[in-house]
């Protein structure tokens, strides 16, 4: 009996907490909302909130759209060509970066006393940037080779 009473209360709860809402705006433009009628206020009628539609049944492999073999082969060949072109370009950029790193020389200038000086800090910064470029191209090449190996 208690469980039936509890169930009835749970079903009636939304009806008990539902209240009318009133809105009033005074002469200074202040807005007041209330659950009881206000002098000069108007009752606000709220539309019910939209509910979420449950997601549909997930597709199973049998329902999944299929691509015919010739079309898939064409797509794979195109992807292979694109990746191969990118790999060739990255290898070229890697060689250029390595060459720039090898050709890097310290900044040399003459002081007021006529002696030759080197700007070591500027040289180290230059070497750091060139080294980062070489490492970036090496990582790109590894990633492209990995992708190409997955296609075979």
pLDDT, position 1: 53
Q: Under DSSP, is residue 43 helix (H, G, I), strand (E, B) or coil?
A: strand
CA separation for the pair 144, 138 (Å, rounded): 10
Angle at 16 between CA 11 and CA 18, to 5 degrees: 110
Give residue 35's pLDDT band: very low, low, confident or very high (50, 70, 90): confident
Kindly list the domain boundaries of the chain, sorted by start residue.
16-46, 69-151
The CA-atom distances, in angstroms, between 128 and each of 86, 98, 124, 142 are: 25, 12, 6, 21
**Amino acid 55: pLDDT:** 78
pLDDT at 26: 87
Q: What confidence tier does 49 reach under pLDDT thresholds 50, 70, 90?
A: confident
pTM to 2 decimal places: 0.51
Q: Please write the tens of the pLDDT for every residue from 53-99.
A: 777 777 677 767 788 889 989 999 999 999 999 999 999 999 999 99
State the angle between helix axes of 69-103 and 120-151 in degrees (0 to 180), rounded to the nearest 10: 160
């Amino acid at each position: 009996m208690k469980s039936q009473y509890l169930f009835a209360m749970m079903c009636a709860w939304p009806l008990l907490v539902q209240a009318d809402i009133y809105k009033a705006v005074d002469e200074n433009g202040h807005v007041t909302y209330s659950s009881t009628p206000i002098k000069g206020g108007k009752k606000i009628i709220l539309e019910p909130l939209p509910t979420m539609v449950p997601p549909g049944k997930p597709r199973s492999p049998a329902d999944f759209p299929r691509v015919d073999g010739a079309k898939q082969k064409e797509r794979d060949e195109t992807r292979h060509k694109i990746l191969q072109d990118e790999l060739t370009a990255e290898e070229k950029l890697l060689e250029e970066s390595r060459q720039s790193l090898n050709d890097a020389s310290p900044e040399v200038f003459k002081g007021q006393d006529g002696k030759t000086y080197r700007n070591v800090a500027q040289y180290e910064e230059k070497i750091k940037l060139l080294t980062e470029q070489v490492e970036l191209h090496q990582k790109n090449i590894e990633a492209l080779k990995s992708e190409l190996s997955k296609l075979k």
